[in-house]
Amino acid sequence: MKHTGKITISLLLVLLLLVSAAFVRSGDLFFQIKKQLTIFSDVYKEVATQYVDDIGPEELMKRSVNAMLEGLDPYTEFIDEGEQQQIEILSSGTYGGIGIEAGYRGDHIVIIAPMEGYPGHRAGLRAGDIIEEVNGTSVRGMSPEEVQRLTVGDAGTSVSLKIRRPGIDESITFDLERERIEVKNINYASRVGENEEFGYIQLARFGQQTAEEVRMELLEMKDAGNFEGLVLDLRNNPGGLLNEAVKLIDKFVEPGVTIVETRGRLDDHNSTMATSEPAIFEDLPLIVLINYGSASASEIVAGAFQDLDRAVIIGENSFGKGLVQTIRPLSYNTSLKITIARYYIPSGRSIQSIDYSGYDSSLDQAVPDSLRQAFETKNGRVVFDGQGIEPDITVQDYGSSLIDLALQRNNSYFFFISDFIASESPSEGSELPENIFDRFANYLIEENFTFETPVDRHLEEIDRNIENFGQESSAQENLDELKALLKDYKISQIHDNRETIERNLHTEWISQIMGERERHGAMLKIDESVLRAIEILGDSHEYQIVLRP
């Protein structure tokens, strides 16, 4: 008994020491906070009152706060009183804008997802486009939220975006008119396949009731009979509510399976979210489509399905945003959006593409392959962290070129198809005429269509020099010959980009000749990723080979 009492006393002493140590560490932290705040307050007061130039206290404080947050990840930002209202507008689901979602890629602000059917998407903006200016103002040093707020305004007003597209050296300006943006959870749902044996659901975001809306669509498809698989389209879905993402997975995975963990510095920020309801479609073959515009909650859904070998993932690499933010209210109607944790999906991997610890914003520091960690899915397939979600089957989007960008910016596709329909009066739902490309090429030549290249600027510079220095006529003749060759080159680009141009003509034809529902269905029939998904769903052997190699 005495021996037991000594052990008990010893354990109590150890426990007391641990508690005391924790208290000391906590007390030391609060002392350091108080000390540093006092120093900061003294410096702030001296600069505000004694500095040679007059600096407003509000401006000085904002500079100080922004400098403090600059060394952290770029998603942590201070939101002042004037920005609160715009945030509420953006989160309400209805506002005037151009329909884009902005985010970080290294030191750049990029378009994560252009919303289908809205001005940005129609003009040809794409996921991954780097935003350089909004209305002539450089976005360098701004956060994605600040850039996005610049694009918001009254419907009918204009906004100008200057972007740079990877693979194209030239910056391009898009002049757009704002429209009323109404964000829906489900953009489109229908049956697809030769015998309409598969379902297709395109999710625009994970908002309130997303999972329930998907469940209702699935039950309708099931009740209609002959329901053999589903294509879940998460392309250009920037994310949303994490709990809705988990509830959606619930419909396809048995209860009790961990879907996502959040791990932060504080215990309050650590959590585990698992499936909890009976899966009503546990055995339904499933394909998930992703691209660079799939971010956050979309990546968790695609990544969880991949880790659990529950779905085949098709498309392109996702965006790679695996950081958790919360908004903390501060004094005087300001707030702080702060990163508090990271997401981890079932295999244990993170979807975050960039490690911001010790990050140098002058470099675009995606995680190098040598530092990426390997993980295993439920069936033993090897997957990696550090690059978002990599698809099981890659289907690349169509490339871009200067001529295609110019055609979209000038609305050439729209005007040509509109004029063609007005003159030919085709019936609703008519097929695209076979000779449409040749007619379009002739139309461009007749309209003296051109687009700017780097060579144009060099030739203009030479032209000015000839005029300024009074060069002999032979130099001018040579220059004119070069200009004629450049014109021929531009015409040749029409034919060199025939495949892309024909696809865009087809898309524009469908948009103008069909009603909304028919238009969506027709678009799916020329969508490479959807066609590949249907092909895999129709071949159970190939479907299983991907998930069980």
Among residues 73, 129, 250, 307, the one annotated as catalytic is 307
**N-term to C-term CA, the chain:** 61
Among residues 296, 401, 412, 529, the one annotated as catalytic is 296
Q: What angle do CA 178, 182, 186 make, to 5 degrees?
A: 135
Active site residue 321: yes
What pairs with residue 446 in β-bridges? none
Active site residue 296: yes
Among residues 321, 335, 400, 404, the one annotated as catalytic is 321
- Amino acid identity of residue 92, one-letter, is S
Distances (CA, A) of 299 to 250, 262, 263: 16, 14, 17
What's 311's DSSP letter? S
Active site residue 412: no
* Pairing relationship of beta strands 229-233 and 258-264 according to DSSP bridges: unpaired
Distance, in Å, from the CA atom of 207 to the CA atom of 255, rounded to the nearest integer, reads 23
Distance, in Å, from the CA atom of 547 to the CA atom of 311, rounded to the nearest integer, reads 8
Distances (CA, A) of 277 to 15, 339, 342: 41, 30, 25
Distances (CA, A) of 254 to 15, 289, 348: 41, 22, 19
Distance, in Å, from the CA atom of 541 to the CA atom of 538, rounded to the nearest integer, reads 9
- Residues ≥6 apart with Cβ < 8 Å to 189: 199, 200, 201, 202, 217, 221
Q: Which residues are catalytic?
A: 296, 307, 321
